[in-house]
Structure 1
Amino acid sequence: MIRPGDLTLLAAALIAVPGQAQTAAAPVEMRAPGAPATDPELLRPLTPLADFTVEPVAPPTASDGKPVVIHYDVSVAGIAATGVGDQFDALSTLRENGRKSESMAQVAIRADEDVKLLEKLLRADGYFDAQADSAITPVPGDAARLKVVLTATPGERYRLTTITLTGPATVPPLLARSAFKLQPGAPIVAIDIESAEANIKLRLPEQGYPFVTLGQRDIVLDDVTHGGDYTLPVAPGVRSRFAGIRLEGDPVLPPAHVAVIARFKPGELYDNRKVDDLRRALVATSLYSSVSIEPVPPADSAVDSDGTAPVDLLVKGGRGPRRTLSGSAGYATGEGVKLQGSYINRNRFPPEGALEYDVIAGNQLQSLGASFRRSNAGQRDRSFQASLTAANQDFAAYNAKTVTLAASLARLSTPIWQKRWTWSAGLELTASREHDFDESRSTSDARLYGIVAVPLQLGFDSSDNLLDPTRGFRVTIRNSPELSYQSTVFGYDRSQIEGTAYRRVGKNIVLAARLRTAEIVGASTAEIAPTRRIYAGGGGSVRGFGYQELGPKDATNAPIGGRSSVEFGTEVRYRFGNFGVVPFLDGGQVYDASLPKLTGLRYGAGIGGRYYTNFGPLRFDVATPLGRKPGESPVSVYISIGQAF
């Protein structure tokens, strides 16, 4: 054994004498004065490799001679305080193979890979001195099981000592440094460094610098202080203002209409958020198969005296399918089966002038309609629509044949583009032939009605999803002053207020509630056309009852509608994967008075199933009336798309 301080030199010398054959000299021992003599065994020549006999270790075999599957246990020591355990578990080669192998050599290869992985993860997390090794040992008494132990020595974690961003100044100053969220003292973690750099490329284009570029980072580590000096060159590029719109490829929409959709005006400071908003708005038109928008670098001579330059936006997009043929089917107790189909040409009258035909075929409702809609009509998110519809409605409350000509100007939500504030204002002209009831409500007669209505609507929506909300609330106010002509002309006013609220409880449960009131003032129930009266009951109202089933009834127990109503409902929406279960309780009533009361309320309870798709949940509800009366169905079924409210 060589102790510290000993100096032992072993050498073999060859002495060459001119003109004579060379002979091997005896080994010469050289040591410091007073040093102990060297062990003679150390001077013995090594055995030639060719004389070794290597016998490979045979893997364990079963009694039938087939190789035994080797199982192994894996444990990792030394990383509990580092935070890389979850990453290692997800990427481990040893663990991704079910902890079994066909040979011990394969286990060793996997262990070596995981050693490299451990060191890589630790260094990416700021432990630049990290080392790891592995040990594989048999489990006593079990020849087909091994124990693999990985041991890591992370060392000290390195932290940022200084942060220096170089490059031209910005307006306002230090934009890049404020976007680089890390501060001295923060651990040098690879993903944090990359995220901070990406934030520069995200934030500067929002502040007028669309052409920012980053140079090569430099981090100088000090293994004594365990600190690092970080340097990053930042070239912000020219400060820019919005200018014009350019098109490349198929000009789906003209530049002037694209400018209408944009939420910025020429001359405004460049903001990449508004560019992304424009891209999403163009996608929402459904006229594009794909859309990209890029700022066009200006010429050096275009820079103005204030240091900014006008920048055009280059819109590239492919034309999407202009025509769509679609259909849907539904069923509800009291409404029966309803099949609906539509054909739409989205750009029949450019720009964004859509022509749509709709047909409904049901055992209680048949209709045919045509409509024209101009989207983004002179202003972003504003639409103009005109329609002509003929319908035959044969419900328990009335039988009506109607023709309606309507026009409206609106700002409404869509499944793609949900808005917080919505509104609409319109005009409706309706001619109808409807069955009405005399004052005794014992006989029925067909009457002709001419109705002029001015429907108005204002809505506020803070929910997180149009078809499947989980938080927030909605409030919608509707009002429709109307003139009705029979033998004389008289007026009345129809109004409705509805509020819904949603709250997530835990991970998979959403509580939902709804309250709705409606009133008609200015005319008696008998004067108002049956199709304009207020009804309740059905899948979008009080479930457990048939469509329009609640409220006053005639001598034959058929509903005749009323002038006011109150409705409410609660749901507990439990979701698991793509499925859901929804127990619910609804209540409400229709009154002949012009103001709603809280007397004679009827309740319905039930349970529903949900299947969640990428466009919204499919709904299947089954409900029963509480305190069922003669003539009321014991069970009602509702099938549709979207939640009940």
Structure 2
Amino acid sequence: MAAFAQVSPDRVDSGRAPPVAETTPEEGAPQATAPIIPDATFEDALPPLSDDLNAPLEAMPALDEPQAQAPGTVATAGQGDLGTAPAQDSELAQPLPPLAVFDATPPAEIAGEGGDRTSAGIPYDMVVQGLDEIDAESEFRGLSALKEGGGKAANGAMIAARAREDEALAVRIMKARGYYDASAIATIGQVPSTPGRVLVTLSATPGPLYKLGAITVKAEPTVPPDLIRANLPLKTGDPIEADRVQGAEANVSLKLPQMGYPFAKIGTRDILLDDETYLGDYTLPVDTGPRSSFGTISTRGDLAFDAAHVDLLKRFETGELYDSRKVDDLRDALVATGLFSTVSVIPRRSHEAGPDGTERVDLLVRQNAGPPRTLAGAIGYNTGEGFQIRGSWTHRNLFPPEGALIGDGILGTQQQGAGLTFRRSNAGQRDKTFSLIARADHSNYDAFDAFTGTLSARWSYDSTPIWQKRLTYSYGVDLIGTNESVYNFNVGERKRGTYGILALPGQVEFDTSNDLMNPTTGYRLKLSLSPETSVRGAVRPYARMLIEASTYYPVTDSLTIAGRVRAGSIQGIDRDDLAPSRRYYGGGGGSVRGYGYQRLGPFDPNGDPVGGRSINEFALEARYRFGNFGIVPFVDAGNAYESTFPKGSDLRFGAGIGARYYTNFGPLRIDVATPLNPRPGDGRIALYISIGQAF
């Protein structure tokens, strides 16, 4: 195969015969007539002429009557004897078929097997020289047209076009890194050892590196005076790199609205290069706009709630210096309500000065209310609890502002129930929630069989997937009526009993972890306290307490070690006077895995758990993640005790391995565990399926 070379247009040979020059005779000059020499062969081919002018003409021979050719004559393809006439083809007289029935499928020999037209292309290799000196070869190869072509092109012109594109790419990359005298050239030739294979060599010459000289900012005075320059991280002597310069300007665009200048605009930079000193003087014009403070809030559109409730969500005061971060915070709070299909917060100039000399900026909230109703469902399985199907219907704004009505139900092999909840989000204070709950449940476990009705009121300050807070709390009141089966150790049999319970539950949690559903760093501390009174023949006050701590340590980006410890105690009441559903039990997916749900703790003579007044639990996991999947080996330990304080002895251990599939709302958890020191009646394998990590 011949090597590719550039050819000048004036050297291109078209293959045509040279034109004949025409000579025009001068006007009035005598014209010489060349003698006409008859062609004997041509004359012999014509029929003889008769002297009788009135004689009829002889008929021309038909095409299908071949005429004898004179020796030495050559018949032209598709042409008969000069004395023959073209035959009439009956197919030509037929009308053309309509275009709609024309078959445009190319023949097999043209289309090729499977339509692969690149199989007959020209293979090529690429060599890059000079870019590795400035650490730019990797970036170049990631954008290269030749590289993207996969080492094959349909023809040589395509290879040349890709090479020209890569020349321009190499120059752009070098200039973006401060090499403004850069050049690049691509040469195309054969691979010497492989006939038919092309070698493209791109040679880059960066030239000298240009650096920043004088740095000038053109802007109106600011407060403080050096606000722009202090937030423009460029200094004399820095390379004039595009990423560095654009990043510095972006930082100014970000910082000015955070420091009271919501309408600041960055102008077009000017860099004057000196090819002798290789320095570039940099000038940046900035239109700061007025220094501003927060004014009023108004809203328009398809409203989910009015401006007064929007004002409740803000974390700034009227007259406070404008800060775009607080505007973004307000926008996020509006999105977090879940009541909008679209919502925006737009600063508007008022052209009115405030008492501190700043201009008041009013915020316009544009709302477009979204569908308020939601249907949700979940399914899960745990050994000891069986299958559970949960569903809920929510109207998030039935009682504006943000007054939701929620109906939920659970259908499981061992638990069934339904509830109705009224929930007011951002109730009088941002992020504070008030709830009224009415529930009816049936629970059928080895430990107890209970029919329970609950009325609750609760105030809470909670974390959500959008807003994760360090300090959260909740407090409220529960009124519970429950009829439960309980083993009576005095008579030696299980009997049913009815309990009336008044509880004042409270909880405080401090959370430094980085994620609610899948933490990989930080720690959590949680304290729960519930003073309660149980009525069953007599009034018996007591207190339930539970403390829990968990920590998360990232060994690598893929591996996290997680640990948890939990301890609980019930003070002021005998175990047998306590409703079985209010006692502590161990075992299950959220406790010591490997043991059945509520199977850790004291048992009655029939081998059924009866619960205790204290509990302790320990857990250690190694969470290894690869992509959207993960593997989690774990070890758990713990037990429940009849005494009011947990013991360090008689711990039960479980171990296993889990699989994780990470979704955008949390990891799907599948854990398989086995007890390491089982008791008679404990199963060998336990399976747990749920959403979220174990802790």
Q: Same fold (TM over 0.5)?
A: yes
In 2: Cα distance, 1:129 partner to 1:441 partner:
100
Greater shift in the superposed pair: 598-607 or 184-193: 184-193
Matches within 5 A, 1:490-529: 490-529=540-579
- In the alignment, structure 1 residue 375 sits paired with structure 2 residue 429: no
Task: Give 2:396's aligned residue.
Answer: 346
143, 153, 158: which one pairs with 2:210?
158
What's the CA shift string for 1:396-426, capped at 9, x where partnerless? 1001111111111110111222111100011
Percent identical residues: 49
Task: Give the alignment of 1:462-473 within 5 angstroms.
Answer: 462-473=512-523
Aligned pairs (5 A) from 1:467-482: 467-482=517-532
Change (3 A) 1:391 1:150: same
Aligned to 1:551: 601
1:82 alignment counterpart: 134
Q: Alignment length, in residue pairs? A: 588
Alpha-carbon spacing, 1:47–1:198, altered in 2? closer, same or farther (3 Å): closer
Alignment of 1:181-580 (within 5 A): 181-299=233-351, 302-304=352-354, 306-440=356-490, 442-580=492-630
Which secondary structure state, in structure 2, belongs to the residue aligned with residue 637 of structure 1? Answer: strand
- Which of 227, 246, 250 is the aligned partner of 1:175? 227
Partners of 2:122 and 2:510 in 1: how far apart? 64
Q: 1:48 to 1:281 in 2, by over 3 A?
A: closer
Task: Kindly state the Cα deviation for residue 227 of structure 1 after the two structures are TM-superposed.
Answer: 0.6
Q: Is the 8 A contact 1:441 1:555 kept in 2?
A: no
Offset, 1:441 = 7.7
8 Å contact from structure 2 (residues 344, 367) kept in 1: yes
SS in 2 for 1:459: strand
SS of equivalent residue, structure 2 residue 547: strand
Q: Is the 8 A contact 2:652 2:678 kept in 1?
A: no
CA contact (8 A) 2:672 2:687 kept: yes
Rate the CA distance shift 1:292–1:47 in 2: closer, same or farther, 3 A.
closer
Contact 2:118 2:153 in 1 (8 A): no
Q: Name the structure where strand makes up a greater proportion of residues.
A: 1
Separation in structure 2 between the aligned mates of residue 168 and residue 509 of structure 1, nearest angstrom: 52
Q: 2:666 aligns with which of 613, 616, 631?
A: 616
SS in 1 for 2:350: coil
**Does the 8 A contact of 1:536 with 1:590 survive in 2?**
yes
Distance, in Å, in 2 between the alignment partners of 1:67 and 1:423 is: 68
How far off is 1:306 after superposition? 3.2
- TM-score, normalised to structure 1, is 0.89
Rate the CA distance shift 1:144–1:349 in 2: closer, same or farther, 3 A: same
Conserved? CA contact 2:319–2:354, under 8 Å: no
Q: Distance in 1 between matches of 2:11 and 2:643?
A: 110
Are the aligned partners of 1:510 and 1:574 in contact in 2 as well (CA < 8 Å)? yes
Q: Deviations over 1:519-540 (max 9, x none)?
A: 1111111111101000111011
CA distance in 2, matches of 1:179, 1:503: 35
Q: CA deviation at 1:71?
A: 2.2
Q: Distance in 2 between matches of 1:163 and 1:537?
A: 68
Matched-pair contact (CA < 8 Å) for 2:670–2:688: yes
Which one is further off, 304-313 or 174-183? 304-313
User: Following the alignment from structure 1 to structure 2, what is the Cα–Cα distance between the partners of residues 533 and 374?
Assistant: 31
State the secondary structure of the residue aligned to 1:81: helix
Task: Name the SS of the counterpart of 2:586 in structure 1.
Answer: coil
Larger Rg: 2
Aligned to 1:43: none
Q: Is the CA contact (8 Å cut-off) linking 1:68 and 1:144 kept in structure 2?
A: no
Q: How does 1:621-636 map to 2 (within 5 A)?
A: 621-636=671-686
Question: What per-residue deviation string (whole Å, max 9, x for no partner) do you get for residues 61-92 of structure 1?
Answer: xxxx9984322221211112323222211100
Matching residue's letter, 1:502: Y
8 Å Cα contact 1:441/1:554 also seen in 2:
no
- Give me the whole-angstrom Cα distance separating, in 2, the residues matched to 1:177 and 1:472: 37
Look up the SS of the partner of 2:319 in the other structure.
coil
Change (3 A) 1:441 1:623: farther
**1:552 Cα deviation after fit:** 0.4
Taking a change above 3 Å as real, the CA distance of residues 137 and 531 of structure 1, as seen in their structure-2 partners, is: same
Matched, 1:120 2:120: no
Aligned to 2:182: 130
2:114 aligns with none
1:578 deviates by: 1.5
Contact map agreement 2:541 2:573 (CA 8 A) in 1: yes
Unaligned runs of 5+ in 1: 1-45, 55-64
Given that 2:349 and 2:360 are in contact with CA atoms closer than 8 Å, whether structure 1 keeps it comes out as no
Change (3 A) 1:66 1:89: closer
Q: Is the 8 A contact 2:118 2:154 kept in 1?
A: no
Distance 2:673 2:9 in 1: 92
Cα distance in 2 for partners of 1:237, 1:588 equals: 64
Matching residue of 2:156: 104
Task: Give, as a single letter, the amino acid of the residue that structure 2 aligns with 1:289.
Answer: S
Give 2:191's match in structure 1, choosing from 132, 139, 144.
139
1:207-265 deviation line (CA, Å, top 9, x unaligned): 11101012221111101111111111111111111111111211222111111111111
Distance 1:513 1:278 in 2: 36
Shift of 1:102: 2.4
Unaligned runs of 5+ in 2: 1-7, 17-116
SS at match of 2:518: coil
Cα distance in 2, alignment partners of residues 290 and 338 from structure 1: 35
* Matched position secondary structure for 1:526: helix
Distance 1:613 1:49, change over 3 A: closer
| CA RMSD of superposed structures (Å) | 1.8
1:92 to 144, 156, 167: 144
Residues 435-444 or 372-381, more deviating? 435-444
Shift in alpha-carbon separation, 1:134–1:572, aligned structure 2, 3 A: same
Match of 2:125 among 65, 69, 73: 73
AA partner of residue 314 (structure 1) = L
- Aligned counterpart, 2:30: none
Letter in 1 for 2:476: G
The answer on 1:638 being equivalent to 2:656 is no
* Superposition deviation, residue 440 in structure 1: 4.7
Aligned-partner SS, 1:192? helix
Query: TM-score of the superposition, structure 2-length normalised?
Result: 0.82
1:174-194, Cα deviation, whole Å (9 max, x unpaired): 111111111111111112211
**What do residues 495-520 of structure 1 show as CA deviations (whole Å, max 9, x unaligned)?**
11111111222232121111111111
Counterpart CA distance in 2 for 1:498 and 1:170 is 51
One-letter identity of the residue aligned with 1:348: L
Partner deviation per Cα, 1:301-328 (whole Å, 9 max, x = no partner): x124632011111111211110001111
Query: Residue 463 of structure 1 contacts residue 474 of structure 1 at CA under 8 Å; is this kept in 2?
Result: yes
SS at match of 2:662: strand
Rate the CA distance shift 1:151–1:440 in 2: closer, same or farther, 3 A. farther
Equivalent position amino acid for 1:638 in 2: Y
SS at match of 1:367: strand
Superposed CA offset, 1:432-468 (max 9, x none) = 1111222358311111111111111000111111111
